[in-house]
A and B are shown apart, each in its own frame.
Chain A
Amino acid sequence: QQQVKQSPQSLIVQKGGIPIINCAYENTAFDYFPWYQQFPGKGPALLIAIRPDVSEKKEGRFTISFNKSAKQFSLHIMDSQPGDSATYFCAASLYNFNKFYFGSGTKLNVKP
């Protein structure tokens, strides 16, 4: 049983578009939600993370939106570029505990 459900599995957008990747969770005890980015041949790397006391967090062109009541969070990539083509994973963890539950991943292709 997957603790964090991620959609879509793959996504194709044109350069400049705004891809949106969605994640949902059931365990209300989760209180840390990171997103990891993985390029082909590399391990995942932290992109951005949020805690449930805020509804939105921006870092450059990347924004996390968080809806605590719906138990959902999403990643938006503004003005997407071909260099953003990668696989994105959402994750969740419990307070004071470094075990992450990862989503199934979204393969993003940004076309020039």
Chain B
Amino acid sequence: DVKVTQSSRYLVKRTGEKVFLECVQDMDHENMFWYRQDPGLGLRLIYFSYDVKMKEKGDIPEGYSVSREKKERFSLILESASTNQTSMYLCASSLGRRQETQYFGPGTRLLVL
């Protein structure tokens, strides 16, 4: 079974703090993704990565950065958290470049005060 784990289920941070969200997958998948989920807006892609040290912007990259130093780990970084980044963050991974199933982690609910 594919397993995607996220470092925290809930996080509370203050405005201006630097926030790290970690994601690890155990199936040697090439692709990893970060989404945010907001009511009425569905899942919106923030960043994705097709390979180690490689990253591509998704649809809403502003205010975020990512790091992929190892194949199994993909980190999302909020350089200076703002209240409008309060959201559910979902990490996903998939096997290859084709239209593969994306496997999601359980999500991290982030509250920025």
- What is the total of A-B residue contacts with beta carbons within 8 Å? 59
In which size bucket is the chain A interface?
Answer: 20 to 34
Give A8 to B9 CA distance when docked, in angstroms.
29
**Listed stretches A12-20, A40-48, A59-67, A75-83; interface member:** A40-48
Known: A89-B42, A104-B40. A98 touches B107 (CB 8 A): no
- Cβ distance A37 to chain B, nearest Cβ, rounded Å: 11
In which size bucket is the chain B interface?
Answer: 20 to 34
Residues of A within 8 A of B107 (CB): 42-43
A100 near B42 (CB under 8 angstroms)? no
Partner-B contacts on A (CB < 8 A): 2, 6, 9, 32, 34, 36, 41-46, 49, 89, 93, 95-100, 102-105
